[in-house]
Amino acid sequence: MTTFTGPSGLPPDADRRATRAEIDLDVLQSNVEAIRATLAPVVELMAVVKGNAYGHGARMVAPAALAGGASRLAVATVSEGRQLRQSGIEAPILVLSPINAQEVPLALDYGLDLAIGTQDLLTAVVGAAEASGSRPGVHIKLDSGMHRYGADADLAISLAQQVGSNPSLRLDGLMTHFAVADEPDDPATDHQAALFQSVLDRLRAQGIAPERHHLANSAATLRDARWHGSMVRVGIAMYGLPPAPGLTLPDGVRPVMTIRSQVARVHRLESPEAVGYGRTYSPDEPESVALIPIGYADGYRRAFSNRGWMTIGGRRAPVVGRVSMDQTVVRVPDAVPVEPGTEVTVLGAETGPSATELAEAIGTINYEIVTGIAPRVPRHYLRQGQVIAVESLPG
């Protein structure tokens, strides 16, 4: 990598872009503490930091989650686990998704625990564990009704027997995942939990005791302690976002991410002038519009064209015309003084729009909004209101 150092005196990795995502690590940590406080003391909390911590930045979020009382971390891929190990994280890390046999040696090198739902993957793990002597933790993944990843009941029992009797492996857990934990009236969650319990009982009857058993995502964690098992796997809720619109978060849990930008240009749009690609918006009366330097290459979705909104001066500024790759135009709210440099909230805890509101505007879920914020948007990490680190495109 070439490093350009100019006369500016700024560090070469400084990112002074107006558009940035503030990640409040104090809020993240206190969210984990607040969720932890709703659990029985013996129940472990696994912080789910896959998808670069749902777009918040896994390297900085993981230590804050551990400081808040999480005892373990979960990722989706081996490279996500490797990133955390390379940043010095020593806590147990579980890879939730299926991996390829070719990835297994790397996963063991990095001391990652694996969720296993197929005989082929277990066979690969046994081979690699015996070759390396590393004794990885294995979580047998039961498919209790979601029909995505996992073994059916009989295969799960067979896999657990094989792990339990192999001194090269640790039977670290039995796990399953709910399909509709966020839907209060659906009996499927209870059916899944009952099947899970029956598999656990059958194993125990054979003297096989997984070190922990876990089923609950955020929605199940919030809804019913009967589903907590001996550990919960919490993702979206610790970022301060509800897993579904009707689910309330524990008191004090607040959104961690705020995206801010600054007006780059203000101009008057005369009728019938139109704005942006496709000329999709034209005002009936002349109006002031402001250019904001964020677009779909930042993860500010093109679907927000003529649908999304930002906040300027405490008032709602609707997106007008199409979102383009790097720029978006909004209507300036009446009676709000706006000039180049004026601060804009693109997504925010205090003023809105929240990730949930933006998701609802375009028919998706808050998970996808925050996870989709691109690496190009610098993350400003806050402690006590001060920026303690800035991360942008990996160097």
Ligand X SMILES: *Cc1c(COP(=O)(O)O)cnc(C)c1O
- Tokens encoding 203: 């194993």
Q: Which is nearer to ligand X, 105 or 113 (CB)?
A: 113
Q: How many CB atoms lie within 10 A of CB 16?
A: 9
- Tokens encoding 82: 């490797």
- Counting residues that bind ligand X (by CB under 6 A) gives 12
Catalytic residue chosen out of the listed positions 50, 110, 296, 367: 50
Closest-by-Cβ residue to ligand X is 235
> Stretches 153-161, 231-239, 308-316, 374-382: which one binds ligand X (CB under 6 A)?
231-239
How far, in Å, CA of 49 to CA of 4, rounded? 33
How far, in Å, CA of 110 to CA of 87, rounded? 12
Closest separation in Å from C-beta 239 to ligand X: 8
Q: Which is nearer to ligand X, 96 or 317 (CB)?
A: 96
Provide the 8-state DSSP code for 335: T
- Who contacts 5 (Cβ-Cβ below 8 Å, separation ≥6)? 12
Measured over all CA atoms, what is the biggest interatomic distance in the chain, rounded to whole angstroms?
78
Which residues between 41 and 80 bind ligand X (CB under 6 A)? 48, 50
Q: Which is nearer to ligand X, 48 or 319 (CB)?
A: 48
Give the angle 35-194-191 at the CA atoms, nearest 5°.
Answer: 90
Convert residues 92-111 into a mask of x (bound to ligand X by CB under 6 A) and - (unbound).
Answer: ----x---------------
Convert residues 234-273 into a mask of x (bound to ligand X by CB under 6 A) and - (unbound).
Answer: xxx------x------------------------------
- Tokens encoding 19: 């558009």
How far, in Å, CA of 231 to CA of 46, rounded? 7
Whether 296 sits among the annotated catalytic residues: the reply is: no
User: Under the criterion CB under 6 A, does residue 121 sit at the interface with ligand X?
Assistant: no
Among 31, 217, 342, 354, contact with ligand X (rule: CB under 6 A): 217
Q: Residue 57 class from Cβ within 10 Å (0-12 exposed, 13-18 middle, 19+ buried)?
A: buried
Which residues between 126 and 185 bind ligand X (CB under 6 A)? 177
Closest separation in Å from C-beta 272 to ligand X: 46
φ/ψ (deg, to 5) at 254: -135, 155
Convert residues 175-204 into a mask of x (bound to ligand X by CB under 6 A) and - (unbound).
Answer: --x---------------------------
Catalytic residue chosen out of the listed positions 54, 141, 277, 367: 277
> Stretches 123-131, 214-222, 278-286, 376-384: which one binds ligand X (CB under 6 A)?
214-222
Closest separation in Å from C-beta 360 to ligand X: 17
Closest separation in Å from C-beta 121 to ligand X: 15
Closest separation in Å from C-beta 44 to ligand X: 13
Closest separation in Å from C-beta 313 to ligand X: 34
Closest separation in Å from C-beta 218 to ligand X: 3
- Identify the CA nearest to 44 among candidates 160, 214, 209, 200: 214
How far, in Å, CA of 72 to CA of 339, rounded? 47
- Identify the CA nearest to 236 among candidates 113, 110, 359: 359
Q: Which is nearer to ligand X, 156 or 319 (CB)?
A: 156
> Stretches 164-172, 196-204, 228-236, 281-289: which one binds ligand X (CB under 6 A)?
228-236
Whether 50 sits among the annotated catalytic residues: the reply is: yes
How far, in Å, CA of 182 to CA of 118, rounded? 27
> Stretches 15-23, 216-224, 259-267, 335-343: which one binds ligand X (CB under 6 A)?
216-224
H/E element, 254: none
How far, in Å, CA of 53 to CA of 136, rounded? 24
- Who contacts 78 (Cβ-Cβ below 8 Å, separation ≥6)? 95, 99, 103, 106, 107, 110, 112
Cα dihedral 9/15/16/21 (nearest 10): -150
Catalytic machinery residues: 50, 277
Q: Which residues in this chain contact ligand X in the complex, by CB under 6 A?
A: 48, 50, 96, 177, 217-219, 233-236, 243
